[in-house]
Amino acid sequence: MTPVDWYAIRTNPKCEGRAIRSLGGEGFEPYFPTAKQLVVHHRTRKLIEKERPLFVGYVFLPVEHGRLFHVGKVRGCDGVRGIMGVCGTPRRIPPGEFAQVVQEETRIRDRFEEMKRRRTSQDHTYRIGDKVHVKSGPFTGFQGEVVDARSRRAIKVLTEIFGRMTEVAVPLDYLAVAA
């Protein structure tokens, strides 16, 4: 594999996608590190997976080590504001620093997938009317019936406390289906 030098390309505001398409059309293969994020829709309250840039306003351009590239060709691309450098001369990103960018993107993606996996594993199958047993917490040993199972964090259970029926919210990890 041929060694590659990386250059930071500054884009116009919110034009990273335009710059990537334009640079791709000129024969370059730009790299745009992103991270995924779960967002709750304000109206429907559904979870939406969105992708956001790790470096807002920048894309990275690989160039074969030692190979010259036409700076004007890059600057002339749609969405490109300029190439990061000193006194108009493009400066390559040190290889170790760019490797850290790639590692960080990978680490963030892995952490997101783990968080998403953990969140979906918390989805429960409790239904109204199910008989449950509280296995830990302040109501350990109590048994009851599910009266509200809409929450992802705690289930409302109707149980007998001090001789009367009382509705209590019990965290999911404290519950088990009654045998």
> pLDDT means per 10 residues in the chain (179 residues)?
89 96 94 89 82 94 85 92 91 91 92 77 76 88 89 85 89 83
Domain range 4-121, its CATH number among 3.40.50.300, 3.30.70.940, 3.60.20.30, 3.10.129.10? 3.30.70.940
CATH match for 131-177 among 2.60.40.10, 2.60.120.260, 3.40.190.10, 2.30.30.30: 2.30.30.30
pLDDT of 1: 67
What pTM value is reported for the model? 0.64
Question: What is the pLDDT at residue 176?
Answer: 85
Among 124, 122, 132, smallest CA distance to 158 is for: 132
pLDDT of residue 52: 92
